[in-house]
Amino acid sequence: MTVIKPGQTIGILGGGQLGRMMALSAREMGYRIAVLEPTEHSPCGQISDVEIIATYDSREGAMKLAETCDVLTYEFENINKETAKWLENHLYLPQGYQLLEMTQHRAREKQAITSFGLPVAPYHVVDSLEKLDNALEQIGVPAVLKTCTGGYDGKGQAVIKQKSDSNYAFEQLQGKGELIVEQWVPFIKELSVIVTRSVHGEVTTFPVAENIHRNNILHQTIVPARIPEHVQEQARKMAVDLAEGLNMKGTLAVEMFLTESFDLYINELAPRPHNSGHYTMNACETSQFEQHIRAICGWPLGGTTLVKPVVMVNILGEHLQSVLDNLPKYSTMKLHLYGKSEAKEGRKMGHLNVLADSVEDALLEIEKLAIWPNE
């Protein structure tokens, strides 16, 4: 099994904050970093040894990456098949392309999840209003219509509260590729588990994260999640079953819904470190980024024990100024900023990890900062 040694170069496709945090961990471990990204001075580009400025599907850029790196990983998921295949053939891409291809498409993803006997909300792929109406007869309302590809942070979705909404929902998403309609899960909590599997087949999961979204963007991650121990165990087991079933290498974020009767449904997968795992950077023995680098470079995986309760809160463009004004108060809070120059509304600029004796205390400390309006 290939071991990539410190001093060798890790290539990262995509120059955003996930790439930056992977690269920072990798640098601490002694690696060189090359990044491929269309824009200059990207969050990851700023701290890389080699910056390749090219579009994700440019052959020239891919060739430069192949010349420069010893191993390739990605933080950007929407790489087209042709480029990914080329990269897989010309570079060492331990994560492979299969997982990426599967998670790029909601229906393929759900098929894979259910093939391992794991639960998802009942769904149907629909390509006409008639099929949508038939599907609603079977799964009932409320439901949600989603594009199979390209959707993120709630984009490419239309909620169907009653059957008469189907026409409007279909019109909204028609022409945006294949569609999937799924039953609305009356969840009490949204959870996620980050699972890592190394090239040697070793698997770890990080503690279950409880996620709070605002306007479909992750707002807070609370760990330990305020759910019973047996549910945490079940969630972690589901993530391990997926990682083993998929024979995956690298990192997978598994997003789930929890219902009042403690049933879990898998909502979505992301084949990379994830925003809901940023809490690990300060609160766990190993961060999700270091673990990812360990996994793809053939190191043994690190411990994932939670050292202290934590709440991660995201800093969007509109929060940045207040976050900076409050700097003298961050004695026990860990601030992470991504080096983005333009603080646009809704843009993820950084995050704050607040460690405390309990998650209640951490939530209180965040509230006292009065940066994020109460909802």
The residues that touch ligand AMP, with contacts defined as CB under 6 A, are: 121, 144, 151, 154, 182, 184-185, 187, 190, 213, 216, 255, 267-268
Q: How many whole angstroms from its chain centre is CA 328?
A: 31
CB contact at 8 A, 104 and 268: no
- As measured in angstroms, the least distance from the Cβ of 255 to ligand AMP is 6
CB contact at 8 A, 287 and 25: yes
Closer Cβ to ligand AMP, 154 or 201, answer by number: 154
Q: Closest by alpha carbon to 313, among 269, 367, 272, 270?
A: 367
- As measured in angstroms, the least distance from the Cβ of 155 to ligand AMP is 8
Closer Cβ to ligand AMP, 37 or 182, answer by number: 182
C-alpha dist (Å) from residue 48 to 37, 63, 72, 178:
11, 18, 14, 38
Closer Cβ to ligand AMP, 200 or 214, answer by number: 214
Q: How many whole angstroms from its chain centre is CA 287?
A: 14
Closer Cβ to ligand AMP, 105 or 294, answer by number: 105
Closer Cβ to ligand AMP, 52 or 193, answer by number: 193
- As measured in angstroms, the least distance from the Cβ of 159 to ligand AMP is 8
- As measured in angstroms, the least distance from the Cβ of 103 to ligand AMP is 12
- As measured in angstroms, the least distance from the Cβ of 152 to ligand AMP is 6
C-alpha dist (Å) from residue 53 to 75, 178, 210, 223:
16, 32, 37, 38
Residue number with the shortest CB distance to ligand AMP?
185
Q: Which residues of 196-207 are buried (b: 16+ CB within 10 A; e: fewer)?
A: bbbbeeeebbbb
